[in-house]
Chain A
């Protein structure tokens, strides 16, 4: 029985954990976001930088659901597409500004996440496949010529009236900052710890008092929200796109591969994955795609065989903490 005379301890979100969170923010999170914000002043290709920031946000968003709960949504692009079309429909059909567009992008992805939350009852490959099918279904609805009046169907949308490349770039950086904060919080708060406990053993996590259905739904909706916001900013920035652009499965695959390559459930792992692999993709993937695909394939094989927990595990398995 607990001894009442002893001073109660603060529990898990106690000062060492909180201090660690502030350290991660000061020395890893904040510098990354600042770097992303000033990058256009250092390098001229803003669209390329925008794509980098989009993938950084998407990789961290996927990290929230995969890294902390173990659910791997191959249909993650569905939230991205929902955000992009939420933005487009608001601007195109309702003639509202980009602020309203971003709000609708966020709402669309969260509502889609709620609709798809029963998928969380599945696990492993079944969940991955079901989420992919859901994203495909949404693509088929959006691109259906019968919805020409609403979504412009397969003919694509043009949002030139609100085109603002600098502002939309900064909004994307803001979304990346939000995703970064979220991952730092999850890594250093008791909620994230409980999610990782649930990833290891849901039965035991429930017995530890953690409401597992609510916990995984919150992680799922937060992850969906990041992708939806990223999709909204993407629609705003590129301003002309087709359903197959916004629902391109490459968004899912890249986000998954970048996150796994760098190391899920860490802050820096997915960032390293994006910088190295998306950098490689841009260096050789566009000029000599066949070499790129060869290298990519070999990399993924090597990763699965030798480093299933990503680059970060090179350090963590030696007892070095990676932010």
Chain B
């Protein structure tokens, strides 16, 4: 872990409004290369919005996002992909009429800043090689989730935003996915993981940020979060807050 090195992602006081609703209300976080940060919180707390703003799907309404020294707030998704930021989607966004190999090939051709990515290796690593010539629309949901990840990895990201990748996977697939994400981090990639499955979060992350109503209410290790009175109150209600 290179905690003393400069963070690759630095989000400061990020604000995103939808009409009068502040989906993100001043979130700050930083992430180092090789680190896995978990983002947890109740539904509607702003986790996915946070990923959507960092990945360029929404423009931020306030605050700043710095990636590897660049101010990237408001840049278009394709530019971010070329800089080395990529993501998976809560419900997989595959190119359904294209084959599995073509899905990865598009990302390898356009998202990698001119460097030739090894699509075959990405497919093999995600256990998709035997499906390479099948249309993505024929895959089951677990396979589509892996393809979504493969598409992201084919761009050679330095920062990977993972939005509920574990939901819907069986225990074996969960274990394999956790190991895969740890291996990516071990290779120097920074990961921001949004997830509801706490067992998965526990296995994958180095530290977590707990969000509620667009704000950060806790930062630290998951085990400590479960003992934090504010966190317990948000998840379980006031009577349990102690």
Contacts and interface: CB of A to CB of B under 8 A. Distances in A.
Interface stretch (A29-37, A192-200, A234-242): A192-200
B12 to A, nearest CB: 24
Nearest to B93: A204
A10 B116 contact: yes
B78 A206 contact: yes
A200 B188 CA distance: 32
Interface string A22-54: 000000000000000000000000000000000
A203 B57 contact: yes
Interface string B92-130: 011111100011011111111001111110000000000
A137 interface: no
A211 B76 CA distance: 8
B81 interface: yes
Interface stretch (A1-9, A127-135, A172-180): A1-9
Given A2-B156, A203-B57, A207-B152, A197 B93 contact: no
A118 interface: no
A1 B97 CA distance: 29
A200 B187 contact: no
Contacts of A8: 115-116
Contacts of A207: 55, 77-78, 81, 86-87, 93, 107, 111, 151-152
B93 A203 contact: yes
Interface string B169-186: 000000000000000000
A204 B89 contact: yes
B136 to A, nearest CB: 8
B116 A9 contact: yes
A212 B106 CA distance: 12
Contact of B109 (A1, A190, A199): A190
B116 A206 contact: no
Contacts of A194: 106, 109-110
Given A2-B117, A6-B118, A11-B116, A206 B102 contact: no
A120 interface: no
A200 B147 CA distance: 15
Size band of the B side of the interface? 35 or more
Nearest to A8: B116
Interface in A240-268: none
B82 interface: yes
A201 B108 contact: no
B155 interface: yes
Contacts of A3: 118
Contact of A190 (B97, B105, B118): B105
Among B115, B116, B151, max chain A CB count under 10 A is at B116
Contact of A206 (B76, B94, B105): B76
A209 B98 contact: no
Nearest to B101: A12
A197 B77 contact: no
B97 A11 contact: no
Contacts of A9: 116-120
Interface string B144-155: 000010011011
Interface of B: 55-57, 76-79, 81-82, 86-87, 89, 93-98, 102-103, 105-112, 115-120, 148, 151-152, 154-156, 187-188
Interface of A: 1-3, 6, 8-13, 190, 193-194, 196-197, 199-201, 203-212
Given A207-B78, A208-B106, A208-B111, 9 more contacts: A3-B118, A9-B120, A12-B109, A200-B96, A203-B77, A204-B93, A205-B106, A207-B81, A208-B151
